[in-house]
Amino acid sequence: MSDMAVKKEIFMKRLEREIKTVGIMIDIYCRKHHGGDRFCESCQELYYYARQRSLKCQYGEDKPVCGKCQVHCYKPKMKAKIREVMKFSGQKMIYSHPILAILHLMAKRKKAPSTKKRE
Ligand SMILES: [Zn+2]
């Protein structure tokens, strides 16, 4: 495999993990606040939205975690919602999914690239 392919592979793994982390956070939040066994309609929508934003991130392989990003590509309504979810579930995840939570914290320490768009 070329260096590029390896980099891409690592990136896809990271993206997958990030999306998975968001899914778990929404799940924890929804169970507690909306009571169902699986995502309610609005949490489902939030999850798909977050997933799509991650996949379409303008930074591509340099993507920072969304909380650190300076672009804020989320719609205000979705942004407020995902913030609430992360605030609520972030702490709880340390107990239920310690490895994912720690990896997420580590990714958060990575500095976000500047807001300058890629040419
Ligand atoms: Zn819900």
Between the CA of 92 and the centroid of ligand 1 the distance, in Å, is 17
Which pLDDT belongs to residue 112?
A: 65
> Which residues have C-beta within 8 Å of that of residue 57, sequence separation ≥ 6?
63, 69, 73
Between the CA of 62 and the centroid of ligand 1 the distance, in Å, is 31
Between the CA of 66 and the centroid of ligand 1 the distance, in Å, is 21
| Total residue count of the chain as it appears in this document | 119
pTM as predicted: 0.79
DSSP letters, the chain, are --HHHHHHHHHHHHHHHHHHHHHHHHHHHHHHHH--SS--HHHHHHHHHHHHHHHT-TTGGGPPPGGG-SS--S-HHHHHHHHHHHHHHHHHHHHHSHHHHHHHHHHHHSPPPPSPPP-
Which pLDDT belongs to residue 93?
A: 86
Between the CA of 115 and the centroid of ligand 1 the distance, in Å, is 32
Identify whether 14 is part of a domain: yes
Between the CA of 32 and the centroid of ligand 1 the distance, in Å, is 8
Which pLDDT belongs to residue 51?
A: 93
Between 70 and 9, the more confident residue is 9
Question: In this predicted model, what pLDDT tens digit does every residue of 60-118 receive, in sequence order?
Answer: 777 777 767 777 788 999 999 999 999 999 888 888 888 888 887 777 777 666 665 55
Question: In this predicted model, what pLDDT tens digit does every residue of 10-62 receive, in sequence order?
Answer: 888 888 998 999 999 999 999 999 987 788 999 999 999 999 998 888 777 77
Which pLDDT belongs to residue 46?
A: 95
Between the CA of 43 and the centroid of ligand 1 the distance, in Å, is 4
Enclosing domain of residue 70: 3-109
Number of H helices, E strands in the chain: 4, 0
Identify whether 117 is part of a domain: no
> Which residues have C-beta within 8 Å of that of residue 32, sequence separation ≥ 6?
88
How many domains is the chain built from? 1
Between the CA of 47 and the centroid of ligand 1 the distance, in Å, is 10
Identify whether 38 is part of a domain: yes
Identify whether 114 is part of a domain: no
Identify whether 37 is part of a domain: yes
Identify whether 41 is part of a domain: yes
Between the CA of 81 and the centroid of ligand 1 the distance, in Å, is 11
